[in-house]
């Protein structure tokens, strides 16, 4: 066997030994998934609110799935918002047309825009909730998303009920340029109107929350809850870690820009596992709106006292 034959034989052996990486379609069709190096059935994770029972990793969850988890199946009502006629005013095109990206995002998520809002009840308390879908162009915010938030806040004001915002975004949508950035101001003004009406505003930070959304309405909450998980939980930041490292030229802690790290700096009030968020919000709203039952007063007051103490310690 000459040297050329040996090389060809070795190459064939390597080709056979190396497993072909599964495609997105194959992974979606599989009954299993892995977040800690060991296969686990998808249905087990789904039954556990899309949290891995082995490593506590919080997997992606869509707004509709989150609403069903928080309020029960079909126990929430979608809020419709005005639609912008021209979604592509700049006729944007990079590797593909923005109009094609929108069509694809709408098909994948089943939503008209990146935010889904609804009316529901927690502990028999009327609430309005908005949640961002990260699979809709990275949860980026543009004109239709801004209109959705404004419609949701207006509904909360009219119903005189609390507003809850669940964030998951890469920031403002570059394809719509200044029209996207304007939504930061419009949404913040809407939240200010909510506060003028003395209505509670609670933010739940899910993974990831960055950019313009974190710099606008996410940081103006009355109560800020971070969604937990391994390695510090959800990412909560403005600029990316690599940008900060390059700018400051310093080593950063491993949990930098996670909700746990932000809590230690006083930016987040509570860090909770996904399954604990809805019951905790219900308890907090019962106290804030003075609708808690007399037998639970001591227990509820103790929860608030502990939360405030943790926030003071972090500050």
- Give the pLDDT confidence score for residue 18 in this predicted structure: 54
- pLDDT 10s digits, 20-57: 666 666 666 678 887 877 888 888 888 888 888 888 88
Give long-range contacts, CB 8 A cutoff, 24+ apart: 277-280.
277/70, 277/204, 277/225, 277/227, 278/69, 278/70, 278/71, 278/122, 280/225
- pLDDT 10s digits, 66-93: 999 999 988 999 999 999 989 999 999 9
Q: What's the whole-model pTM score?
A: 0.84
Higher pLDDT, 236 or 19: 236
CA distance 196 to 199: 8
Domain-embedded: residue 56: no
The yes-or-no verdict on residue 176 having pLDDT over 50 is yes
Residue 281, domain CATH:
3.90.226.10
In which band, very low, low, confident or very high, does the pLDDT at 314 lie, cut at 50, 70 and 90? very low
Q: How far is CA 303 from CA 30, 278, 280, 297, 299, in A?
A: 42, 15, 9, 10, 6
Domain-embedded: residue 271: yes
Domain count, the chain: 1
Q: What is the mean pLDDT of residues 172-187?
A: 96
Which residues span the domain enclosing 129?
61-314
Which of 229, 227, 230 minimizes the C-alpha distance to 280? 227
Helices (H), 55-161: 63-71, 98-109, 143-159
Domain-embedded: residue 80: yes
Domain-embedded: residue 104: yes
Domain-embedded: residue 290: yes
Show Cβ contacts of residue 148 under 8 Å, excluding neighbours closer than 6 positions: 79, 81, 113, 115, 116, 117, 130
The yes-or-no verdict on residue 301 having pLDDT over 60 is no
Q: How far is CA 71 from CA 90, 120, 124, 159, 227, in A?
A: 40, 7, 10, 18, 17
Q: What is the mean pLDDT of residues 104-118?
A: 97
Average pLDDT in the chain: 88
- Give the pLDDT confidence score for residue 239 in this predicted structure: 86
DSSP 135-179: TTGGG-B-HHHHHHHHHHHHHHHHHT--EEEEEEE--B-GGGHHH
- Give the pLDDT confidence score for residue 245 in this predicted structure: 84
The yes-or-no verdict on residue 165 having pLDDT over 60 is yes
Quote the percentage of the chain above a pLDDT of 90.
65
| φ and ψ of 77, to 5 deg | -120, 125
């Amino acid at each position: 066997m000459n040297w050329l034959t040996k090389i060809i034989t070795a190459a064939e052996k390597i080709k056979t030994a190396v497993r072909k990486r599964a495609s997105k379609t194959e992974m979606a069709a599989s009954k299993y998934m892995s977040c800690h190096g060991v296969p686990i059935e998808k249905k087990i994770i789904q039954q556990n609110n899309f949290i891995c029972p082995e490593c506590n990793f919080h997997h992606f969850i869509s707004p509709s799935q989150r609403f069903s988890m928080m309020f029960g199946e079909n126990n929430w009502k979608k809020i419709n918002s005005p639609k912008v006629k021209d979604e592509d005013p700049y006729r944007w095109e990079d590797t593909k047309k923005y109009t094609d990206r929108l069509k694809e995002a709408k098909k994948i998520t089943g939503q008209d825009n990146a935010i889904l809002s609804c009316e529901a009840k927690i502990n028999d308390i009327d609430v309005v909730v908005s949640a961002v879908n990260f699979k809709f162009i990275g949860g980026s915010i543009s004109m239709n998303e801004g209109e959705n938030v404004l419609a949701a806040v207006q509904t909360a004001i009219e119903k005189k009920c609390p507003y809850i915002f669940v964030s998951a975004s890469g920031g403002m949508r570059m394809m719509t340029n200044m029209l996207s950035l304007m939504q930061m101001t419009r949404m913040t003004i809407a939240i200010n109107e909510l506060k003028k009406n003395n209505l509670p505003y609670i933010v739940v930070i899910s993974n990831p929350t960055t950019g313009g959304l974190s710099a606008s309405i996410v940081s103006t909450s009355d109560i800020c809850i971070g969604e937990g998980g391994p390695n510090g939980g959800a990412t909560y930041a403005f600029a990316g870690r690599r940008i900060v490292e390059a700018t400051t030229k310093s080593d950063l802690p491993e949990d930098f820009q996670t909700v746990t790290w932000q809590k230690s700096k006083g930016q987040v009030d509570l860090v909770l596992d996904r399954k604990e968020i809805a019951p905790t919000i219900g308890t907090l709203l019962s106290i804030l709106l003075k609708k808690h039952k007399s037998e639970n007063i001591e227990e509820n007051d103790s929860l608030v006292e502990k939360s405030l103490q943790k926030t003071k310690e972090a500050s």
